Amino acid sequence: MPSKKHPPEEVVAKITAPLPLLTNAKPAARIDLFAKKLRFCCYTFDFQDPTSQVKEKDLKTIYLKEVVEFMEESRGVLIEPIYAMCFTMIAHNLFQAVHPNNPNYDPDEDDPIVVPEWPHLQLVYTFFFRVLESPDFQPSEAKKYIDHHFVTDLINRFASEDINERECLKTAVHRIYGKFLGLRAFIRNVVNNKFLEMMYEDLYFPGVTEILEVLGSIINGYACPLKREHKQFLFQILLPLHSTPNLQHYQAQLVYCVVQYLEKDPTLTEEYVTKFLKRWPRTVAAKEVMFLGELEEIIDVLQPSEFIKVQRVVFLQLAKCIKSEHFQVAERALYFWDNEYIVSLMEVSSTQIFPIVLPGLLQVSNFHWNSTIITMATNVIKNFMTVDQKVFATILSNIKQKKKQEKKHRAELTAKWVKLNAIASQSEVTLTLKTSSANAENKR
């Protein structure tokens, strides 16, 4: 919908003549007066310049507050012409160009951004919600205006860096998804495309966190068995999102969505965990810590039957993390032994898990540079001993035997290398003598 932006001066002169209060108007005239005020609120003004059109901005604020209150308290307001006027006003105000992103803005360090037009936008969003919540609201009537274009424009607004606006957008999308069954598949498709643009075109998109929060609620409502489309979203969208450079901004929401999937359909666990571990970060310790956090949350919701399927690949990765030179990675991996449920799962599968992690724990407890990590690893080893001393002794004996064999193998390789060196040296001496003899013969 086109925006009526910056009306000509002669039009402003006409529309700024204050209209009477809705509460003072006769009941028969209120709908018409309500429509006039909505029409005025369609106009948008330049908020970048606080000194321009002050009178018009103040009047629009008054009208917006009035129409919000009128929509909340009145009944029988939502008739055919009013639907059109309501959504025209909403679209003209919300679907403006998003302010260009500040390349130097850091959401972790800088204060939250508040766009200058937010006081008006907040009232528009409030009015939008009052319309959707009205007992008179009929989705069959509103679908003429809340269509594919409206939904696309609404989701595009998540590019706003104003967190207040993104929170309102989250509420709006969630309510539209709940009321308009015919738009659900389209909303999911628009979200898919938005995430794909962000991931593969390297676009900065501030609203990922809020969209994932909406998706968390949507996934929670999925019926089982899950549709193929829903499974594809897990593996083609949520999984690749782990590889983006801004993961720390929305990791909690992303993990929540993943956990919802695995709780809904535990049979997805083995495939998801295997593919998740293949994306494990190799050079960014902070990201590795985040992956360890997600892995723990996943294990927390697994049934023992599903845990058995992934225990080997999971603890092979944990064993690597325990031996990490970065103390935060090693520390986060060792915290798995503070989780009672995970420890109980390990105890059941001790003969499979202990041999994987014990060598790394012994190495760390003896040679790690960080004293805290040494203490934590030592405590884990003590816990292993108390869980099943016989199994622990057997595994320890096997480790010692393996090290002995490795030492013997290294000694044999060293002896072979010394022998080869001796042979090479003897060959070099023989070659030198032959060369000298040949040169002497030639001189004669």
158 and 132, same structural domain?
A: no
Extract the tokens encoding 7: 């009306």
CA triple 306-309-314, angle to 5 deg: 105
Average pLDDT, integer, range 388-409: 77
- pLDDT, tens digit (0-9, with 9 covering 90-100), for 131-157: 999 999 999 999 999 999 999 999 999
Residue 432 lies in a domain: no
- pLDDT, tens digit (0-9, with 9 covering 90-100), for 104-133: 556 666 666 777 888 889 999 999 999 999
Average pLDDT, integer, range 342-359: 89
The answer to whether the beta carbons of residues 259 and 306 sit under 8 Å apart is no
373 and 358, same structural domain?
A: yes
Residue 415 lies in a domain: no
Q: What percent of the chain has pLDDT over 70?
A: 91
User: Which is nearest to 152 in space by CA: 140, 169, 165?
Assistant: 169
302 and 191, same structural domain?
A: no
Whether the CA torsion 114, 120, 121, 127 is positive or negative: it is: positive
Extract the tokens encoding 341: 């449920």
The 10 Å Cβ neighbour count of residue 341 is 13
Cα-Cα-Cα-Cα torsion 19, 20, 25, 30, nearest 10 degrees, comes to 30
Residue 132 lies in a domain: yes
Q: Is the pLDDT of residue 11 over 60?
A: no
pLDDT of residue 103: 53
CA triple 157-158-160, angle to 5 deg: 80
Residue 411 lies in a domain: no
Three-state SS at 366: helix
> Distance between CA 83 and CA 61 in Å, rounded?
21
- Strands, E, within 109-165: which ranges? none
CA triple 134-140-145, angle to 5 deg: 85
Domain extent for 187: 146-238
Residue 342 lies in a domain: yes
CA distances (Å), origin 326, targets 206, 242, 318, 321: 30, 21, 14, 9
pLDDT of residue 444: 60
58 and 16, same structural domain?
A: yes
Task: Provide the domain count of the chain.
Answer: 3
What pTM was estimated for this model as a whole? 0.83
pLDDT of residue 105: 58
Higher confidence at residue 161 or residue 24?
161
Q: Is the pLDDT of residue 164 over 70?
A: yes
Q: What percent of the chain has pLDDT over 90?
A: 59
CA distances (Å), origin 356, targets 101, 329, 369: 48, 18, 22
132 and 184, same structural domain?
A: no
> Distance between CA 294 and CA 292 in Å, rounded?
5
Residue 182 lies in a domain: yes
Three-state SS at 203: coil
User: Which is nearest to 372 in space by CA: 332, 319, 316, 318?
Assistant: 332
pLDDT of residue 144: 93
Q: Kindly state the DSSP code that residue 323 receives in the 8-state scheme.
A: T
Band the pLDDT of 285: cuts 50, 70, 90: very high
pLDDT of residue 101: 60
Residue 257 lies in a domain: no
Name the least confident of 138-152, 250-264, 286-300, 389-403. 389-403
61 and 29, same structural domain?
A: yes
Higher confidence at residue 8 or residue 198?
198
121 and 167, same structural domain?
A: no
Task: Tell me the CB-side half-sphere exposure of residue 270, using CA atoms within 13 A.
Answer: 8
346 and 331, same structural domain?
A: yes
171 and 184, same structural domain?
A: yes
If you average pLDDT over every residue of the chain, what do you get?
88
Whether the CA torsion 208, 213, 214, 217 is positive or negative: it is: positive
Q: Is the pLDDT of residue 169 over 60?
A: yes
The answer to whether the beta carbons of residues 130 and 68 sit under 8 Å apart is yes
Average pLDDT, integer, range 238-266: 94
> Distance between CA 297 and CA 74 in Å, rounded?
48
User: Which is nearest to 276 in space by CA: 301, 313, 303, 309?
Assistant: 313
Average pLDDT, integer, range 180-201: 93
- pLDDT, tens digit (0-9, with 9 covering 90-100), for 69-100: 999 988 888 988 899 999 999 999 999 866 65
Expressed in angstroms, the distance from the first to the final Cα of the chain is: 105
152 and 137, same structural domain?
A: no
The H helix count followed by the E strand count for the chain is 20, 2
pLDDT of residue 35: 92
CA distances (Å), origin 164, targets 61, 157, 207, 379: 18, 12, 11, 46
Q: Is the pLDDT of residue 10 over 60?
A: no
Cα-Cα-Cα-Cα torsion 135, 139, 142, 147, nearest 10 degrees, comes to 150
224 and 134, same structural domain?
A: no
124 and 22, same structural domain?
A: yes
Average pLDDT, integer, range 406-427: 86
Residue 424 lies in a domain: no
> Amino acid letter at 94?
L
Which is it for strands 4-5 and 43-44: parallel, antiparallel or unpaired? parallel
